[in-house]
Amino acid sequence: MSPIGDVVEGRVTDANAQPLADALVSLVGVGPLAERSDKNGTQRTTYSDQDGIYRFKGLAAGPYQLHAWASSEMSRSLHQIFDPAGRFVDSFSSVEDGAFLDPEFLKKFQPRERRTTVERNGLTRVNLKID
């Protein structure tokens, strides 16, 4: 199991490089972190502060993907998830409700995805841009 205690932080900006306050930032472990059963320290969300700064603490070391959404993007119509056989699995009414965990939902936001590897006992800085 990876040690806990690593940090990812950065700034969320708009297309004009201006800081975005109250942006939702998601951080989700990929690769071996996505396969962990406990998910402790591998799936998080937070909001940027008035200067666009966000921070995640207590993360497991390993690879992650990050996404950010402006506050105006967070109220979305119902998003439904179906298994490969076409059976209804779950639905989300917004990004905050967990849609950021659905790979199909994230496909349309892939251009703004950032990937990083968090090192043991380290600080990783990742800036995010919302066009």
Q: What pLDDT is stored for residue 97 in this prediction?
A: 58
Taking only Cα atoms into account, the Rg of the chain, rounded to an integer number of angstroms, comes to 15
CA dihedral 13, 18, 21, 22 (to 10 degrees): -40
Task: Let me know if residue 30 belongs to a domain.
Answer: yes
Residue 44 sits in which domain range?
4-72+101-130
Task: Let me know if residue 82 belongs to a domain.
Answer: no
C-alpha span between 12 and 102 (Å, rounded): 22
Task: Let me know if residue 89 belongs to a domain.
Answer: no
Residue 116 has pLDDT above 90, yes or no: yes
Task: Let me know if residue 61 belongs to a domain.
Answer: yes
Structural domains in the chain (count): 1
The amino acid that residue 59 corresponds to is L
Task: Let me know if residue 42 belongs to a domain.
Answer: yes
Task: Let me know if residue 23 belongs to a domain.
Answer: yes
Task: Let me know if residue 13 belongs to a domain.
Answer: yes
**How many residues belong to the chain?**
131
Q: What pLDDT is stored for residue 53 in this prediction?
A: 97
Residue 110 has pLDDT above 60, yes or no: yes
Q: Read off the pLDDT of residues 77-106 as tens digits, 9 standing for 90 and up.
A: 344 555 566 665 554 445 655 677 777 777
Higher pLDDT, 102 or 124: 124
Residue 40 has pLDDT above 60, yes or no: yes
CATH code of 123's domain: 2.60.40.10
